[in-house]
C-alpha cells in the first residue's frame, strides 16, 4: 500500500502519507527511497479531512501458537484501541479494514474463541469498527482476505504459494503434506490494494457489507505446485505427495463475486493465476516484477 501511495504522489513530506508500525524505523521502497515509520503507540492522531486509513494492524494467526488465548485477546484489543485513537481526530476518515476468511467457522458460522482465536477476534474487530464508523459517519470498507500472491510477501514459510516457490528454488523435494484435496483461490496483492482503495473512495458513510477476496480461478495445491515447476523449469517429479481420495477436502477460497465486480468497476483486467505465480517467483528470486 505504501509503494502504491508513493507512486501516486503521496509522501510524508507533503503531509499526505503516514505509515505506522509496532516500532519506529524506515521502510525501503523499490526505487531505493525510504519512508519513515511511526511507532503505532504514542503517534500523534490524524487531523483534518480526506484521509483514507488502511487498518492492517493485527496479530497474525501464527501468534496463536505462542501466546495464551488471554494474551492474544488482550494484545489484539490493545491494537484495535490504538488504531481507533489514531483515527478519532480525523474528519470522517475513509477506513479500510483487512479482515480474514478465518471469520467463517464451521458451517459458515463465526468461530468460537477457543477453536479459532484469530478468526474470532477478526469478527469482533469487524463489528467494533462497524459500530464506530456508524456513530462517526465514517465510510468503512471490509475485505475478508483469503489467499494473496505477488511481490512484498512476508511470513513466507507459512503460506502455500511462497513455500512451494522457495522449495523449488532450493532444490530437492517439493513436499506437499496434505493427503486430501486442498483448494485455494489467489488474488494479486497490488490488485487487492487497488480494490480496497477504490471501494473506500466510493463508499457511503457507515459500514458497507464485507466482501471476500477471490480470484478468477480455484486451484488444487498439486496443480499449483506443477505450475510453479513449469515456470521455473523444474522437473515436476520433484513434487512428493501421498494422496488419499478419502481424506477431507480443505477449501479456503472466498466468494469472489463482489471482489471481481469491484475489479471491473475500476476498469482493471483481472490478474490471473499464471501472472500471480510469475510475480511471486520474480519477487522471491530477486528478479524484477512486471
Q: How far is CA 63 from the centre of its chain?
A: 16
The three grid cell numbers given for residue 98, joined into one nine-digit string: 483487512
What are the residues facing 98 on neighbouring strands?
143
Nearest residue to 190 (alpha-carbon basis) of 22, 36, 65, 30: 30
Whether residue 172 lies inside any domain: the answer is yes
Asked whether residue 143 is domain-assigned, the answer is no
Residue 90 pairs with which residues in a beta bridge?
Answer: 48
Q: Tell me the DSSP string of 98-162.
A: EEEGGG--GGGSPPPTTT-HHHHHHHHHHHHHHHHHHHTT--EEEEEE-EEESSS--SGGGSHHH
Is 249 part of any domain?
Answer: yes
At 287 the pLDDT is: 67
Q: Please check whether residue 124 lies inside any domain of the structure.
A: no
Categorize the per-residue pLDDT at 105 as very low, low, confident or very high, splitting at 50, 70 and 90.
confident
CATH code at 253?
A: 3.90.25.10
Tell me what the mean pLDDT of segment 276-285 comes to: 96
Residue 262 within any structural domain of the chain:
yes
Per-residue pLDDT band for 290 (boundaries 50, 70, 90) equals low
For residue 239, tell me if it sits in a domain.
Answer: yes
**Domain count for the chain:** 1
Task: For residues 69 and 91, give the distance between their C-alpha atoms in angstroms, rounded to a whole number.
Answer: 35
Apex 234 CA angle, 228 and 236, nearest 5: 75
> Over the stretch 218-272, which tens digit does the pLDDT of each residue have?
999 999 999 999 999 999 999 999 999 899 999 999 999 999 999 999 999 999 9
pLDDT value for 108: 79
19 located within any domain: no
Structural domain containing residue 260: 150-186+215-290
Residue 170 included in any domain: yes
Rounded Cα distance, 189 and 148, in Å: 6
User: Whole-prediction pTM value?
Assistant: 0.94
Amino acid at each position: 500500500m505504501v509503494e502504491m501511495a508513493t507512486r501516486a504522489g503521496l509522501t510524508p513530506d507533503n503531509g499526505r502519507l503516514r505509515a505506522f508500525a509496532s516500532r519506529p524505523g524506515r521502510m525501503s521502497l523499490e526505487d531505493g527511497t525510504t519512508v519513515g515509520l511511526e511507532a503505532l503507540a504514542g503517534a500523534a492522531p490524524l487531523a483534518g479531512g480526506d484521509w483514507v486509513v488502511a487498518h492492517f494492524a493485527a496479530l497474525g494467526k501464527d501468534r496463536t501458537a505462542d501466546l495464551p488465548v488471554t494474551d492474544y485477546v488482550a494484545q489484539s484489543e490493545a491494537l484495535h484501541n490504538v488504531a481507533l485513537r489514531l483515527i478519532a481526530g480525523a474528519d470522517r476518515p475513509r477506513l479500510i479494514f483487512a479482515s480474514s476468511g478465518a471469520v467463517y467457522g464451521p458451517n459458515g458460522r463465526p468461530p468460537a474463541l477457543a477453536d479459532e482465536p484469530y478468526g474470532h477476534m477478526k469478527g469482533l474487530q469487524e463489528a467494533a469498527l462497524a459500530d464506530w464508523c456508524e456513530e462517526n459517519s465514517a465510510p468503512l470498507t471490509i475485505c475478508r482476505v483469503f489467499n494473496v500472491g505477488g511481490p512484498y510477501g512476508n511470513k513466507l514459510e507459512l503460506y502455500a504459494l511462497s513455500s512451494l516457490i522457495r522449495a523449488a528454488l532450493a532444490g530437492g523435494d517439493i513436499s506437499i503434506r496434505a493427503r486430501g484435496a486442498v483448494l485455494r483461490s489467489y488474488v494479486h496483492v497490488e490488485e487487492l490494494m487497488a480494490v480496497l482503495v477504490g471501494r473506500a473512495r466510493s463508499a457511503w458513510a457507515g459500514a458497507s457489507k464485507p466482501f471476500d477476496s477471490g480470484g478468477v480461478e480455484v486451484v488444487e495445491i498439486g496443480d499449483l505446485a506443477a505450475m510453479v515447476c513449469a515456470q521455473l523449469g523444474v522437473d515436476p517429479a520433484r513434487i512428493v505427495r501421498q494422496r488419499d481420495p478419502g481424506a477431507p477436502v480443505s477449501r479456503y477460497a472466498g466468494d469472489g463475486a463482489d471482489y471481481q465486480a469491484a475489479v471491473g468497476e475500476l476498469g482493471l483486467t483481472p490478474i490471473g493465476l499464471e501472472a500471480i505465480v510469475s510475480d511471486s517467483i520474480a519477487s522471491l528470486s530477486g528478479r524484477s516484477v512486471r
